[in-house]
Chains A and B, each alone.
Chain A
């Protein structure tokens, strides 16, 4: 075991972090928040989600499922963006590989942490996913493929550390394939529900993949910048150039998602398609309008794109701030996507007395704390990774 670890963990070279009170204090605080969040999750599990969470029979998925979607979208995106370099051989993307693969693992593990408390009986999943599978279920495929994805990413990361790039690349390809399959299945979990007009159709699986890559670009830029910032390191020229390439790809993807979103909105409004029209009106000019315009459009898409254009993909600090805005906006996107799809009641056209036009949902403290613990845990993994793997340097720079 020790010998194996010695192979994977760099013993010398790379970048060394200096200890500071602020750094240790931050890690300590985040551990505390993670443990408190897990405590809230365990409490909810014991008393029953009905009594702890704000989700209802009409809106069975809420903040925590949105957080799970956010984490796995980000993970898939990191995997895809990093694969451009070390799987498909584009040299400009090679320096980001190690940290991105590590972050892909950190984000999916954090996603699993949140979903563990989102599902009522997670322990049954381990048993019945195996002995009683339903091959028509997208949830089954998503879970199984994400399991495979995590295994491939772990092996790939270990091989990258051991310097075995060729076989790591092959593992990375398997990671990409399982990641895309898993992630489009997550889209299909929503898109293949005939009774949910807002989601229904092939749009969801396609959108999920493209928006994953967008999230991936934002996360790569922000966390590379942050990793160097908090440890007081200086970026090599190759890495800076690599991040600029990622920013250019990111700019393209922001535009693609704007294009997707625009047409999705127009399709939801034109001809007043029942179920969809109400949802889009709620999003554009109703209770979700703040989320949509400030969160999704401004923070998530427009501001980061404008920053990349304004600094001509050069100034990394500016682009890291844009990426941070984008990460926040993307989280709002996931929340709106999940909750909006469930908010229009199934019998909305039947003029039912006392049935709200848009069903209410407010996350409870339990939901917020578990979600927060996902983020703090992810940050801990990120910060520890920086130290443990000495700045994730690759040999060629």
Chain B
């Protein structure tokens, strides 16, 4: 019987339903419910970990930083003007051989003869499980307990470069002038502690690609962007388990 025929039938109601049938139905329902509950508890289906597939929202209590600094990249707004890179170099005295943030260019086919160019800004992801912090022998790099920013204490850096090998995002370089590894710290020493609210790259971006803010504040723009319904938010290299705090998304363009 297909759905069209089913639609034409008149409703018999449940008043005349034999109790045996009712019981069978209830038993089936309980069995299904029980299976799911048991499944969750045994975690064979790992429903609980399903959100790990995108590894985006830091919900673990351990990562409850306040303010929990993070950045959202509205990727399709980026036009590769590189003003963010210039602003970063100026603000943080980045030498010519290094970078803290840059824009990567990607291409993908969108038709037989058509290609799309995507600009992808990258920087330190200030991960919740930072691989660089785990490997540092002397705690020269550490996760700030208040802000969650992955910081450097330059005087402790022995220059073994294991953090550079460990970083999944190529976000670290050795700064010969500081004689220590250098990386993005969301302009902590150069702007945030001086009362400014945004990083240099955010301020310099003419296309409003980068949004910086406190992920622990539901009223902040980053919180709202990341928690929008029906919007795909992704992070880079989620498979490494680093739980990054830089989120990527595309916005609907009114053109």
- Contact assessment for A354 and B105 in the assembled complex, using a CB-CB cutoff below 8 Å: yes
Chain B positions within 8 Å of A61 at CB level: 161, 165
Say if the beta carbon of B226 comes within 8 Å of chain A: no
Stretch at the interface among A123-131, A156-164, A278-286: A123-131
Q: How far does the alpha carbon of A253 sit from the alpha carbon of B138 in the complex, in Å?
A: 36
Min Cβ gap A324→B in Å is: 32
Q: How far does the alpha carbon of A136 sit from the alpha carbon of B108 in the complex, in Å?
A: 40
Kindly identify which residue among A132, A136, A189 contacts B138, using a CB–CB cutoff of 8 Å. A132
Name the residue of chain A whose CB is nearest to the CB of B179.
Answer: A121
Chain B positions within 8 Å of A139 at CB level: 135-137, 160, 162
- Contact assessment for A51 and B158 in the assembled complex, using a CB-CB cutoff below 8 Å: no
Name the residue of chain B whose CB is nearest to the CB of A141.
Answer: B137
Chain A positions within 8 Å of B138 at CB level: 124-125, 128-129, 132-134, 140
- Contact assessment for A140 and B137 in the assembled complex, using a CB-CB cutoff below 8 Å: yes
Kindly identify which residue among B135, B155, B158, B167 contacts A138, using a CB–CB cutoff of 8 Å. B135
- Contact assessment for A51 and B176 in the assembled complex, using a CB-CB cutoff below 8 Å: yes
Q: How far does the alpha carbon of A356 sit from the alpha carbon of B150 in the complex, in Å?
A: 29
Say if the beta carbon of B104 comes within 8 Å of chain A: yes
Q: How far does the alpha carbon of A133 sit from the alpha carbon of B233 in the complex, in Å?
A: 37
- Contact assessment for A194 and B168 in the assembled complex, using a CB-CB cutoff below 8 Å: yes
> Which bracket fits the contact residues of B?
35 or more
Say if the beta carbon of B106 comes within 8 Å of chain A: yes
Contact with B along A333-361 (1 / 0, CB 8 A): 00000000010011100111111000000
- Contact assessment for A346 and B170 in the assembled complex, using a CB-CB cutoff below 8 Å: yes
Kindly identify which residue among A51, A125, A350 contacts B106, using a CB–CB cutoff of 8 Å. A350
Min Cβ gap B137→A in Å is: 4
Chain B positions within 8 Å of A355 at CB level: 104
- Contact assessment for B176 and A137 in the assembled complex, using a CB-CB cutoff below 8 Å: no
- Contact assessment for B104 and A347 in the assembled complex, using a CB-CB cutoff below 8 Å: yes
Kindly identify which residue among A48, A55, A342 contacts B176, using a CB–CB cutoff of 8 Å. A48
Q: How far does the alpha carbon of A196 sit from the alpha carbon of B166 in the complex, in Å?
A: 7
Chain A positions within 8 Å of B156 at CB level: 124, 128, 132
- Contact assessment for A60 and B106 in the assembled complex, using a CB-CB cutoff below 8 Å: no
Name the residue of chain A whose CB is nearest to the CB of B140.
Answer: A128
Q: How far does the alpha carbon of A195 sit from the alpha carbon of B168 in the complex, in Å?
A: 5
Considering the complex, which residues of chain B in the window 71-104 have a beta carbon less than 8 Å from any beta carbon of chain A?
97-98, 104
The prevalent SS among residues of A at the interface is: loop
Say if the beta carbon of A89 comes within 8 Å of chain B: no
Chain B positions within 8 Å of A129 at CB level: 137-138, 158
Q: How far does the alpha carbon of A133 sit from the alpha carbon of B138 in the complex, in Å?
A: 5
Considering the complex, which residues of chain A in the window 301-360 have a beta carbon less than 8 Å from any beta carbon of chain B?
342, 345-347, 350-355
Query: A50-B97, A119-B158, A128-B158 known; A58 and B135 CB under 8 Å?
Result: no
- Contact assessment for B172 and A57 in the assembled complex, using a CB-CB cutoff below 8 Å: yes
Q: How far does the alpha carbon of A132 sit from the alpha carbon of B242 in the complex, in Å?
A: 24
Min Cβ gap A273→B in Å is: 11
Query: A194-B131, A353-B105 known; A122 and B158 CB under 8 Å?
Result: yes
Say if the beta carbon of B139 comes within 8 Å of chain A: yes
Name the residue of chain B whose CB is nearest to the CB of A275.
Answer: B239
- Contact assessment for B160 and A134 in the assembled complex, using a CB-CB cutoff below 8 Å: no
Contact with A along B157-194 (1 / 0, CB 8 A): 11111101111111011101001100000000000000
With A125-B160, A139-B135, A353-B105 known, 20 other A-B pairs at CB within 8 A are A51-B176, A57-B164, A58-B170, A119-B160, A120-B158, A121-B180, A128-B140, A128-B158, A134-B134, A139-B136, A189-B135, A189-B162, A193-B135, A194-B168, A342-B165, A345-B170, A346-B167, A347-B170, A351-B107, A355-B104
Interface residues of B (CB under 8 A from A): 97-98, 104-108, 120, 131, 134-140, 155-162, 164-170, 172-174, 176, 179-180, 236-237, 239-242
A-B contact pairs, 9 of them (CB 8 A): A57-B174, A121-B158, A128-B140, A129-B138, A134-B138, A192-B135, A346-B167, A346-B170, A347-B236
* CB-CB nearest 3 A-B residue pairs: A120-B159, A195-B168, A48-B176
